[in-house]
Structure 1
């Protein structure tokens, strides 16, 4: 007889949400604002390397048209599949 584990408590989900929001905030600051306003008070060596490299600021800008192309290509492919 199998014994099913109980689902995780709600506070585990809140911890995941808080960690995700923190990672997004640190990453956005490092990639976007760090490249535009260098010399911030970041003390983590890997984040300083990302701030010094100016090419990462284009990652956020170019991800919008790439995602739009991906959505449109998938939609067209789905229409071909449905109507074939």
Structure 2
């Protein structure tokens, strides 16, 4: 077995982790907190401003999490009933 590893360097993982945390922070602000802080001046980002002005589609991502969880759990329970009947 060769001593070299095919795994990426640890700093690549840290880069993905930092980018994910940054995107989570920007997305959370755009979807949830921008409506609360609408008196602040715009950052100049047209997409973020459009999300801040949106009335109901911004909550689609937030409410899809429990709906998807319910769908997965209901399908798993149905599959268990099917297998054990």
Q: TM-score, normalised by structure 2?
A: 0.74
The ranges of structure 1 where at least 4 consecutive aligned residues each deviate by more than 4 angstroms after the TM superposition are none
Aligned to 1:82: 83
1:80: Cα distance to partner?
A: 2.3
Residue 35 of structure 2 contacts residue 53 of structure 2 at CA under 8 Å; is this kept in 1?
yes
1:7: Cα distance to partner?
A: 1.4
Deviates more, 1:52-61 or 1:17-26: 52-61
Aligned to 2:71: 70
Specify which structure has the higher proportion of helix: 1
Residue 51 of structure 2 contacts residue 58 of structure 2 at CA under 8 Å; is this kept in 1?
no
Structure 2 counterparts to residues 1-84 of structure 1, below 5 A: 6-40=6-40, 41-84=42-85
Which structure 1 residue ranges, 5 or more long, are not aligned?
Answer: none
| CA displacement 1:5-41 (0-9 Å, x = unmatched) | 7211000010001001100100000010112331434
What is the root-mean-square deviation of aligned Cα atoms in Å?
2.3
1:60: Cα distance to partner?
A: 4.9
Residue-pair matches, total: 81
